[in-house]
């Protein structure tokens, strides 16, 4: 029994079992040997001891029990348990291909039991046509077997040779791995790959699949082949990096793709196979293709973006339809409009699961108003009457809610050229539609506002033609809408040349129209209105200029008032200047000549004369400007008239008011003389001294209707100063005459009279100096500080009234004391004069340059805002720094620091502005000199 049990053990357990058995029987065998070898006379059955035999029997029984019940066979038991529970079928064959063992999965596969198959050939166990009959026992051959019955499974066969310890082959271990699920996944993957290829082939833009590792081109559609100019070229000669105009970008893009899995809408500059540069809008997705990590790249040519913006938007939308599922949908329908495939995004937009949509007709989700036209377009596409169609539809989701979608549909063709299905790309345009409705409402409200606003509102197209004008524009200009609508803006009330009209249109198209400008607008009645325009360029979605919109404010009356005030100011300045000139002399003839020389500053004219009354006659004592008309001064001075017989002189004498004769040829009261036939317009005013007319000041012009009442008013103001000057000269003449007579009469008083004359001369000189010193600085000829203070008060009041800015610039020569100490005060005076000369030369009429004190100067800039004042200050600073003054063979130069302050930003009165400018000047000095600093704004 023990031997049989040992022999049934696996070969590896035989040695262990025999050693155990020998240990168990060793006590009994030693007892027998002892009895046998003992002397005969001593051997008796009684000499055998029973307890060793009992030990031996108990050991044999224990060993037989262990072997009988396989208590030592733990590893084989576990191995059997594992084999029984494996899903793979396992068969063990001996060297004659007889079945030695098989697990439960193999029993099910062969349709037999272990007991029935034991010892039989594999071919005897299998049915006649079973696929395992074709099994080849060779470990180097990969075999796949399809067993349709009873479970329709696929198996991968693995043959493992069984060898003993000497390496001799004793049989085969055949393992059949169940790969049914893998086969099905592969078939599904192949089907999905075919569907993907069909979608990629129908995509209307360039698509390519390239290896992430080496850039190998694994797939490229026809659009991409044409785009990269690869027709007729072997693709294996190219790598994707060869098409980058900047090759270093590809590793960066691949790194980003590895990290994020996608790249959306990036602009790249690429090169074709023929080295032609093109700009593309690229999107990438990381994917697995043909077992490799790849990049799915979609490209849209945007080289002609400005001209092809609409096409670009469609291509970009299609690109997003494929790769960006946030707001885009893809669906495939059969010839009858039933869904064959929908992506998750389109299903989400319809509010259903993708599988619930398969087989449904697309018309079920269209608004009823859109169904007929969509069906017509689908029929035309299926019948190949059109190649593609694009529609904007209203769709209904599962909740019955409407949304707008823009769908682009293309056909998928069979090898015979027939339409098998249609693929559509849907973009959700609900927000755009809402925006369009809101835009229309905004435009309606905007036009309503424009029609009721008290401003002139117009719109012009890109050619400068009027496309809109509001009611107030028609009211101001008097035009009818039908008369001007569609006409070029420049031709309304004008007749410009074609070049001017063309240049205006080009300015609109280029966007060079000024945002603010003033222009004269001709009304229907022939008068001109001054309009201040604010212009806004109108652009389309691509950013192209398509016209302008303008709002205009009628500033005609304000401009007239401003011009009148400016003329009054100029008149006051001119009168002030002429007063200085006329009072600078007491010589009678010289005074008369200066009157004629300066009257042109007040009233423009061609010729002027002064006639003084002597009795009943007027004698022309002084004249100017008649020489160019052939009338010498001596001839004018010989003329004498009885003034009461000359209508205009008599009228001036009696009314003591100026008289204007706009057109002498049309005035019946004008006295024509042959020497003065060239006179076409005349204005005259009486010279009144102590309420008595002592003469006349007359101006003549060769232009008809030249003089008007404004000229007469100005001339009257000037004549008042002229009368004072004449009276002073006459008085001076009388004083001189009295002094001469007294000198002749009283010889004894000659010395006293001489001193008196000297004194009078000194007084006159002192008067002149006092007058000049009253407003002028004697060294620089600039206005002095007293004049500046008076002027600043007056200008601030006017600025408050007219809402105008006033800038004050405080200038100081840097290191002026060093110049005086080094070269002397005379050199310093030359620098002061140089700076003053520059200010006088570079200042405008509205600027008032003054010497503030020492080396400090002040310039009052009426109407200048802060940017203009600072720009002017920088110009003066740079110009003076480049000025060189020569003193005693030494070239001297200096720099200036300037502080700038502006009313009302830096103060509400003149002293505040002066103080702010002075503080800014101090800051410029502290900051290193030779610079311009602005005063800080009021807090």
pLDDT band for 815, please (50, 70, 90 cuts). very high
Q: In the structure encoding, which two tokens stand for residue 466, read together?
A: 């009027």
Residue 700 and residue 742 in one domain: yes
pLDDT band for 800, please (50, 70, 90 cuts). very high
C-alpha radius of gyration, the chain, whole number:
59
Residue 301 and residue 342 in one domain: no
Q: What is the mean pLDDT of residues 688-697?
A: 86
| Listed residue (626, 563, 622, 570) closest to 601, CA to CA | 570
Q: What is the mean pLDDT of residues 29-45?
A: 63
Q: What is the pLDDT of residues 201-237, one digit of tens each?
A: 667 778 888 998 888 888 888 888 888 888 888 888 8
Question: CA–CA separation, 684 vs 657, rounded Å?
Answer: 9
Residue 611 and residue 740 in one domain: yes
Q: What is the pLDDT of residues 710-743, one digit of tens each?
A: 888 888 877 777 777 777 777 777 777 767 777 7
Q: Residue 411 sits in a domain of what CATH number?
A: 3.30.450.20
Question: CA–CA separation, 295 vs 152, rounded Å?
Answer: 37
- Pairing mode, if any, of strands 545-554 and 607-614? unpaired
Q: What is the pLDDT of residues 62-96, one digit of tens each?
A: 666 666 555 555 445 555 655 666 678 888 888 78
Q: What is the pLDDT of residue 585?
A: 58
pLDDT band for 138, please (50, 70, 90 cuts). low
Last residue of a domain, one of 554, 573, 592: 554
Q: What is the pLDDT of residues 458-517, one digit of tens each?
A: 999 999 999 889 888 988 888 888 888 889 988 887 888 889 999 999 999 998 888 888
* 925 Cβ contact partners less than 8 Å away, ≥ 6 residues apart: 812, 814, 897
Q: What is the pLDDT of residue 182?
A: 78
Q: Is the pLDDT of residue 308 over 70?
A: no
Higher pLDDT: 148 or 777? It is: 777
Q: What is the mean pLDDT of residues 516-536?
A: 87
Residue 800 and residue 889 in one domain: yes
Residue 617 and residue 540 in one domain: no
Q: What is the mean pLDDT of residues 575-603?
A: 70
Of 165-179, 248-262, 558-572, which has the strongest mean pLDDT?
A: 248-262
Q: What is the mean pLDDT of residues 363-372?
A: 93
Least confident range of 531-535, 540-544, 913-917, 919-923: 540-544
Q: Is the pLDDT of residue 411 over 50?
A: yes
Does the N-terminal peptide bond of residue 372 adopt cis geometry, omega within 30 degrees of 0?
no
Q: Is the pLDDT of residue 314 over 70?
A: no
Q: Is the pLDDT of residue 906 over 50?
A: yes
| Average pLDDT value for the chain | 82
Q: What is the pLDDT of residue 72?
A: 52
Q: Is the pLDDT of residue 753 over 90?
A: no
pLDDT band for 866, please (50, 70, 90 cuts). very high
Does the N-terminal peptide bond of residue 217 adopt cis geometry, omega within 30 degrees of 0?
no
* 589 Cβ contact partners less than 8 Å away, ≥ 6 residues apart: 622
Q: Is the pLDDT of residue 37 over 60?
A: yes
Residue 416 and residue 461 in one domain: no
Q: Is the pLDDT of residue 22 over 80?
A: no
Higher pLDDT: 57 or 667? It is: 667
Q: What is the pLDDT of residue 81?
A: 59
Least confident range of 217-221, 675-679, 759-763, 796-800: 759-763
Q: What is the mean pLDDT of residues 903-932?
A: 94
Number of domains in the chain: 7
Q: What percent of the chain has pLDDT over 90?
A: 25
Residue 762: inside a domain, yes or no?
Answer: no
Q: What is the pLDDT of residue 153?
A: 82
DSSP 449-486: HHHHSSSEEEEEETTSBEEEE-HHHHHHH---HHHHTT
User: What are the CB-based long-range contacts (under 8 Å, 24+) for 771-779?
Assistant: 771/580, 771/583, 772/580, 777/836, 777/850, 777/851, 779/829, 779/832, 779/833, 779/836, 779/851
Count of Cβ atoms closer than 10 Å to residue 200 Cβ = 19
Q: What percent of the chain has pLDDT over 70?
A: 82
Residue 764: inside a domain, yes or no?
Answer: no
Residue 410: inside a domain, yes or no?
Answer: yes
Residue 77: inside a domain, yes or no?
Answer: no
Higher pLDDT: 438 or 650? It is: 650
Coil vs helix vs strand at 434: helix
Listed in order, strand segments (DSSP E) in 627-783 are 640-642, 659-661, 681-689, 692-701
Residue 280 dihedral angles phi and psi, to the nearest 5°: -130, 155
Global confidence as pTM:
0.30
Domain that holds residue 112: 86-178
Q: Is the pLDDT of residue 274 over 80?
A: yes
Contact in structure between 176 and 88 (CB atoms under 8 Å) = yes
Q: Is the pLDDT of residue 446 over 50?
A: yes
Residue 73: inside a domain, yes or no?
Answer: no
Residue 767: inside a domain, yes or no?
Answer: no
Residue 51 and residue 137 in one domain: no
Q: Is the pLDDT of residue 901 over 90?
A: yes
pLDDT band for 879, please (50, 70, 90 cuts). very high
Residue 580 and residue 702 in one domain: yes
Residue 8: inside a domain, yes or no?
Answer: yes
Higher pLDDT: 43 or 592? It is: 592
Q: What is the pLDDT of residues 152-194, one digit of tens each?
A: 788 888 888 888 777 788 888 888 888 888 777 777 767 766 6
Residue 343 and residue 232 in one domain: no
Higher pLDDT: 749 or 708? It is: 708
Residue 285: inside a domain, yes or no?
Answer: yes
Residue 537 and residue 569 in one domain: no
Contact in structure between 604 and 703 (CB atoms under 8 Å) = no
Question: CA–CA separation, 147 vs 105, rounded Å?
Answer: 14
For the beta sheet containing 99-102, the strands, ordered from the edge strand earlier in sequence to the opposite edge, are 99-102, 89-94, 169-178, 153-163, 143-147
Residue 408 and residue 441 in one domain: no
Contact in structure between 238 and 216 (CB atoms under 8 Å) = no
Give the position of tokens 């707008």.
404
Q: What is the pLDDT of residue 900?
A: 97
Residue 545 and residue 586 in one domain: no
Q: Residue 732 sits in a domain of what CATH number?
A: 3.30.450.40
Cα–Cα separations (whole angstroms), residue 708 to 473, 574, 653, 699: 33, 19, 20, 12
Give the position of tokens 């087989």.
359
Last residue of a domain, one of 141, 161, 178: 178
* 369 Cβ contact partners less than 8 Å away, ≥ 6 residues apart: 394
Last residue of a domain, one of 287, 308, 323: 323
Q: Is the pLDDT of residue 415 over 80?
A: yes
């Amino acid at each position: 029994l023990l031997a049989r049990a040992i022999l049934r053990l696996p070969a590896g357990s035989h040695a262990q079992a025999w050693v155990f058995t020998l240990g168990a029987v060793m006590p009994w065998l030693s007892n027998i040997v002892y009895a046998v070898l003992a002397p005969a006379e001593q051997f008796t059955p009684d000499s055998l001891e029973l307890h060793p035999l009992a030990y031996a029997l108990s050991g044999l029984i224990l060993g037989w029990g262990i072997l009988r019940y396989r208590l030592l066979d733990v590893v084989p038991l576990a191995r059997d348990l594992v084999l029984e529970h494996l899903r793979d079928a396992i068969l063990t064959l001996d060297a004659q291909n007889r079945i030695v063992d098989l697990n439960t999965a193999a029993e099910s596969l062969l349709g037999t039991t272990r007991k029935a198959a034991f010892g039989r050939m594999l071919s005897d166990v299998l049915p006649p046509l079973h696929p395992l009959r074709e099994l080849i026992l060779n470990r180097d051959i990969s075999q796949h077997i399809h067993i349709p019955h009873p479970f329709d499974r696929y198996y991968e066969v693995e043959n493992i040779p069984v060898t003993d310890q000497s390496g001799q082959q004793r049989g085969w271990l055949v393992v059949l791995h169940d790969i049914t699920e893998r086969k099905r996944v592969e078939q599904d993957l192949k089907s999905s790959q075919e569907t993907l290829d069909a979608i990629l082939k129908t995509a209307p833009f360039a698509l390519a699949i390239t290896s992430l590792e080496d850039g190998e081109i694994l797939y490229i559609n026809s659009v991409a082949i044409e785009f990269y100019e690869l027709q007729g070229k072997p693709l294996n000669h190219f790598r994707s990096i060869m098409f980058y105009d900047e090759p270093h970008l590809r590793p960066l893009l691949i790194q980003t793709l590895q990290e994020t899995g996608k790249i959306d809408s990036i602009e790249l500059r690429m090169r074709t196979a023929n080295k032609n540069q093109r700009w593309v809008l690229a999107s990438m997705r990381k994917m697995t293709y043909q077992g490799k990590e790849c990049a799915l790249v979609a490209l849209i040519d945007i080289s002609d973006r400005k001209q092809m913006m609409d096409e670009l938007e469609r291509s970009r939308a299609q690109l997003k339809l494929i790769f960006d599922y946030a707001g885009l949908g893809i669906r495939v329908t059969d010839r009858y409009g039933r869904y064959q495939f929908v992506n998750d995004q389109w299903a989400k937009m319809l509010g259903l699961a993708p599988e619930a949509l398969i087989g449904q007709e697309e018309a079920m989700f269209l608004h009823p108003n859109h169904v007929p036209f969509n069906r017509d377009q689908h029929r035309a596409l299926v019948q190949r009457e059109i190649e593609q169609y694009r529609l904007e539809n209203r769709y209904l989701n599962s909740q019955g809610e409407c949304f707008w979608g823009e769908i682009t549909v293309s056909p998928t063709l069979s090898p015979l050229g027939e339409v098998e299905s249609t693929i559509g790309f849907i973009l959700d345009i609900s927000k755009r539609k809402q925006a369009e409705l809101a835009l229309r409402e905004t435009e309606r409200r905007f036009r309503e506002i424009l029609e009721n606003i008290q401003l002139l509102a117009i719109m012009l197209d890109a050619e400068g033609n009027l496309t809109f004008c509001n009611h107030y524009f028609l009211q101001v200009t008097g035009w009818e809408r039908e008369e001007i609508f569609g006409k070029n803006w420049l031709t309304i009330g004008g007749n410009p040349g074609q070049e001017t009209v063309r240049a205006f249109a080009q300015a609109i198209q280029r966007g060079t129209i000024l945002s603010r400008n003033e222009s004269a607008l001709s009304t229907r009645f022939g008068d001109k209105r001054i309009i201040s325009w604010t212009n806004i360029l109108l652009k389309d979605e691509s950013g192209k200029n398509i016209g302008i919109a303008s709002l205009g404010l009628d500033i005609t009356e304000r401009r007239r008032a401003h011009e009148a005030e400016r003329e009054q100011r100029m008149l006051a300045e001119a009168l002030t200047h002429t007063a200085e000139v006329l009072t600078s002399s007491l010589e009678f003839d010289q005074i008369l000549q200066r009157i004629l020389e300066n009257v042109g500053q007040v009233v423009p004219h061609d010729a002027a004369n002064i006639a003084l009354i002597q009795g009943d006659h007027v004698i022309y004592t002084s004249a100017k400007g008649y020489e160019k008309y052939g009338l010498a001064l001596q001839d004018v001075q010989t003329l004498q008239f009885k003034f009461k017989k000359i209508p205009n002189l008599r009228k001036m004498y009696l009314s003591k008011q100026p008289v204007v004769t706009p057109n002498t040829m049309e005035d019946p009261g004008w006295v024509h003389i042959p020497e003065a036939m060239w006179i076409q317009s005349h204005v005259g005013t009486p010279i009144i001294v102590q309420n008595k007319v002592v003469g006349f000041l007359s101006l003549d012009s060769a232009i008809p209707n030249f003089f008007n009442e404004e000229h007469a008013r100005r001339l009257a103001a000037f004549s008042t100063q002229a009368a004072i000057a004449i009276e002073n000269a006459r008085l001076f003449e009388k004083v001189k005459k009295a002094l001469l007579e007294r000198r002749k009469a009283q010889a004894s008083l000659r010395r006293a009279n001489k001193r008196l004359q000297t004194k009078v001369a000194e007084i006159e000189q002192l008067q002149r100096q006092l007058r000049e010193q009253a407003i002028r600085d004697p060294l620089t000829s600039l206005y002095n500080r007293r004049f500046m203070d008076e002027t600043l008060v007056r200008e601030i009041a006017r600025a408050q009234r007219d809402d105008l800015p006033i800038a004050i610039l405080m200038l100081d020569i840097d290191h002026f004391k060093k110049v005086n100490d080094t070269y002397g005060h005379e050199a310093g005076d030359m620098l002061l004069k140089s700076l003053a000369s520059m200010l006088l030369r570079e200042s405008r009429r509205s600027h008032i340059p003054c010497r503030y004190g020492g080396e400090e100067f002040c310039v009052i800039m009426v109407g200048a805002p802060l940017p203009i004042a600072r720009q002017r200050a920088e110009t003066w600073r740079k110009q003076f720094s480049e000025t060189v003054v020569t003193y005693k063979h030494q070239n001297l130069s200096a720099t200036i620091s300037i502080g700038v302050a502006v009313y009302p930003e830096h103060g509400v009165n003149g002293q505040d502005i002066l103080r702010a400018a002075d503080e800014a000047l101090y800051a410029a000095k502290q900051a290193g000199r030779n610079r311009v600093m602005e005063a800080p704004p009021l807090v």
